[in-house]
Amino acid sequence: MDHERIIYILDYLNHYTDERKHVTVRDIQNYLSSKTNLNDVSAITIRRDINRLQTSGQDIRIIHGAHNTAEYFLVRKGFTFNEIRFIVDSVSINKFLSDGQKQRLIKKFEGLCSEAEVHQLISRIALNSQAEPSANLLDNLEKVHRIISQTKKINFEYGKYDTHKQINYYSKRRNMIPCKVIYFNERFYLKCMDEETETIRTYRIDRMKCISSGERTKIKAVIPKPDGIVLDIFEPEEFVYVTLRVKRFLLDDMLEQFGKYVTVMKDDNSESVLIQAKVGVGHGFYRWVMKYGQDMEIISPQKIREAFAEKIKEVYDLYQK
């Protein structure tokens, strides 16, 4: 009975107290009487149980008041409330989780909060998305991380949409060594290395199914650290220093994407600035520049400028037919 009572007291302090909300021994007695049918528990017994909890490592604080009164509250270890709220907001906006999965995850974090704090979690961020959530993302991530830790090859089926808006999965054994999970543009990707060619391949984890481990790898596959700024999830063809002329209103956007790796210079045109950074150049880079239209111009190197001009010409030719 002693152990049961102590657990009830700890549970009460966990859910009904925090640094702003405190309870008295009388409050604990009323809770035990109304919720657990433990009647007539003396104040001395409750104080002794609190001392036991403190001795066992629970951070229970006591605030002494006038006339020998005292109030108690539990300082929970682990996540702070602001950290829990941030995690809950992150779960709320995760487009890969179904509503049911979100609610189950959020419920677990609510168990770490006091009753007053739970009410502050009710206002959650809404997700504006037309895409259906992936029901198997969490399971896929768990399997992928486990196979990486086992230094084994990975086998899976991979899916792509067809014209009927259905995902078709292609079943084939992949001679791939899983290396790293990357979160990029709100999606999870798996970077793999082909053991024979040592080329890097990239797969969306939510498009994988029937994931299983293969034989142990014969080589230690390591994804090279990017030698510059990467603007696309796929491997660039090369890293080169690129100079861009951009309109001034894009400067915030450029600094957010390039961070400390960009050099900003004045331009002869007061409405523009020049920025220079070492960037991974490939198809993804050209698509990235293209989305800014006339507000961005590649100045150098000349070969990159000419290659982009050729791609612009190809787009122009499409509309001349």
Q: 174: domain CATH number?
A: 2.30.30
pLDDT tens profile 31-45: 998 878 788 889 999
pTM over 0.75: no
For the stretch 135-147, pLDDT in tens is 578 788 889 999 9
Please report which confidence band the pLDDT of residue 23 belongs to, taking 50, 70 and 90 as the band edges. very high
Question: 248 and 299: one domain?
Answer: yes
Between CA 288 and CA 161 the distance in angstroms is 23
Residue scoring higher pLDDT (155 or 175): 155
Residue 233 lies in a domain: no
Give the dihedral of Cα atoms 94, 96, 102, 105; nearest 10 deg.
-90
- Report whether pLDDT(176) > 60: yes
Q: Would you say residue 258 lies in a domain?
A: yes
Structure confidence by residue, pLDDT tens digits, 193-232: 888 888 889 999 989 999 999 888 877 788 888 888 988 8
Q: Which residues pair with 177 in a beta bridge?
A: 193
The rounded distance, in Å, linking the Cα atoms of 83 and 89 is 10
Mean pLDDT of the chain: 86
Lowest mean pLDDT among 166-175, 238-247, 306-315: 166-175
When comparing pLDDT for 264 and 104, which is higher? 264
The rounded distance, in Å, linking the Cα atoms of 214 and 173 is: 9
In a domain, 229, yes or no: no
Domain span holding position 256? 238-318
Q: How many CA atoms lie within 13 A of 189 on its CB side?
A: 16
208 and 247 in a single domain? The answer is no
Note whether residue 129 is domain-resident: no
- Residue 224 within a domain: no
On the question of pLDDT at 116 being above 80, the answer is: no
Domains contained in the chain, number? 4
Strands (E), 19-166: 60-64, 70-74, 152-161
Residue 232 falls within a domain, yes or no?
no
The answer to whether 187 touches 124, Cβ cutoff 8 Å, is no
Cα–Cα distance, 24 to 70 (Å, whole number): 6
Residues 67 and 113 grouped into a single domain: no
> Band of the pLDDT at 103, cuts 50, 70, 90?
confident
Does residue 141 sit in the same domain as residue 195? yes
Positive or negative: CA dihedral 86, 89, 93, 98: positive
Tokens of 104: 């189950």
Q: Is 259 in the same domain as 293?
A: yes
| pLDDT value of position 1 | 56
Residues 167 and 141 in one domain: yes
Q: Is residue 223 included in any domain, yes or no?
A: no
- Averaged pLDDT, 144-162: 90
Task: Select from 156, 183, 216 the last residue of a domain.
Answer: 216
Phi then psi for residue 78, to 5 deg, are 90, -130
Q: Are 304 and 298 within 8 A, CB to CB?
A: yes
